[in-house]
Amino acid sequence: MKKLFLIITLTLICNCSKVHTSSSYSHENGTRYIFTTIGILPSSINESSGIIAHNKQLYTHNDSGDTPSLFKIDTTGRILNKTTYQNINNYDWEDISNSENHVYIADIGNNAGNRKDLTIYQINISDIENSEAVSDNLHIEYIDQNDFSIRNQQHPFDAEAIVYVQDKLLLFSKDWKNFTTNVYNVPLEVTSSSLKATHTLAINGLITGATTNNQGTITLCGYNSNLEAFVTFIKIDQKGYTILDRYNLPLEGAQVEAITYYDSNEKYDIYYLTSEAVSIKLGDEEANSPGELYKLKVKID
């Protein structure tokens, strides 16, 4: 997602000196949240837009402008392997999710609102590092979208977050006007779907990533129009979706784009997040924030 500067407020731009550096640090919010900056990501993944955990390793990808590649990294951000898929395209990869058997790569970035080729690629998880992996292409459209003219960040048909949970693939929209998110259920048994929102959640922000701890909680990440990053915890059950809590991340000027559940111990659920590099310019002044890797520990109730 390259056009964030269109919505950043003057308050943020005038405080360019506050854009955070990359020094490693930890922040505790009472006893419930422990947030740690691991460090700067390598330049080859400084546009990290999605992340998953598999076999105790992390896999991340860039968004538009990169090859259809998945990078395996360790929990320090060190690149272990790069797989470039021969049978998959990358127009604007925005998120990734996985089930026990499959990986889902969401080519759903739609800032301008004019795309008619939104696709989620499904590959066998055993082929995650196979450059010749064959994908099942899940083509999607929004049933309520009738206008495909270019409307940069002035429409509700953008999305950057998917998560596989309770045998369903859910998509969370990015609404530039109302700062809500629509929830869509993406059918996996057909190759083309017209999606109808099942719920609308008052998030008060732009959702950029989603994950689940597989215990009935979905965690979303994102930021508001001042580029203030947050995570929101949502309970999913037969009644629908309930917002449980919101934690404002102790970051300044970080464009947080991705989150994945990693593991749990006796006390905490453990998550990893990434941000992508962002540059803010006003006149002759410019502030840069690098792409980074973070760790979030959330106390188990």
CA angle 158-164-170, nearest 5°?
35
> Which ranges of the chain have pLDDT less than 70?
1-30, 280-287
The residue among 296, 292, 286, 248 whose CA lies nearest residue 23 is 292
- Rounded Cα distance between 233 and 221, Å, is 9
pLDDT, tens digit, 9 for 90 and up, residues 133-143: 999 999 999 99
Bridge partners, 15 (sequence order): none
Strands (E), 166-249: 168-174, 181-186, 192-195, 199-201, 206-212, 217-223, 229-237, 240-248
pLDDT, tens digit, 9 for 90 and up, residues 122-159: 999 999 999 999 999 999 999 999 999 999 888 999 99
